[in-house]
């Protein structure tokens, strides 16, 4: 009987502590999700405004890249806030470098880019 009472007493005191630790950890993971940003936009020809299919968009510091879709649209998710150098490449077009692009927390950034042909 005394053993059961001690186990119950320990459970009553430790359960709130364990739950509080879980809640704090869960709060941090939710904040981490909200502290990233999505960059999206459209890649087009500077002269004709035609959409460029499968242009490569590369964020150097993050080591992340993607290609534009059949409408010239692209989207890169889960980018941490900071300043980045972004490069856009497409066959028979000049490489476009965008230095020091500032990415802020939690906002969706739209970055439409026009490339010039060679």
Where residue 15 falls among pLDDT bands split at 50, 70, 90? very low
What does the pLDDT average to over 88-103?
96
114, pLDDT greater than 50: yes
Architecture of domain 36-115: Sandwich (2.60)
* pLDDT value for 87: 97
44, pLDDT greater than 70: yes
Domain parsing of the chain, residue ranges: 1-34, 36-115
Pair 58, 64: CB distance under 8 Å:
yes
Name the percent of the chain lying above pLDDT 70. Answer: 71
pTM value surpassing 0.85:
no
* pLDDT value for 82: 92
């Amino acid at each position: 009987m005394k053993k059961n009472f001690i186990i119950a007493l320990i459970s009553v005191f430790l359960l709130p502590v364990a739950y509080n630790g879980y809640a704090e950890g869960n709060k941090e993971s939710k904040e981490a999700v909200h502290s990233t940003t999505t960059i999206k936009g459209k890649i087009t020809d500077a002269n004709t405004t035609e959409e460029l299919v499968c242009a490569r968009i590369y964020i150097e510091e993050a080591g992340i890249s993607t290609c534009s879709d059949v409408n010239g649209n692209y989207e890169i998710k889960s980018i941490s806030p900071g300043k980045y150098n972004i490069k856009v490449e497409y066959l028979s077009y000049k490489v476009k470098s965008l230095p020091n692009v500032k990415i802020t927390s939690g906002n969706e950034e739209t970055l439409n880019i026009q490339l010039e042909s060679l």
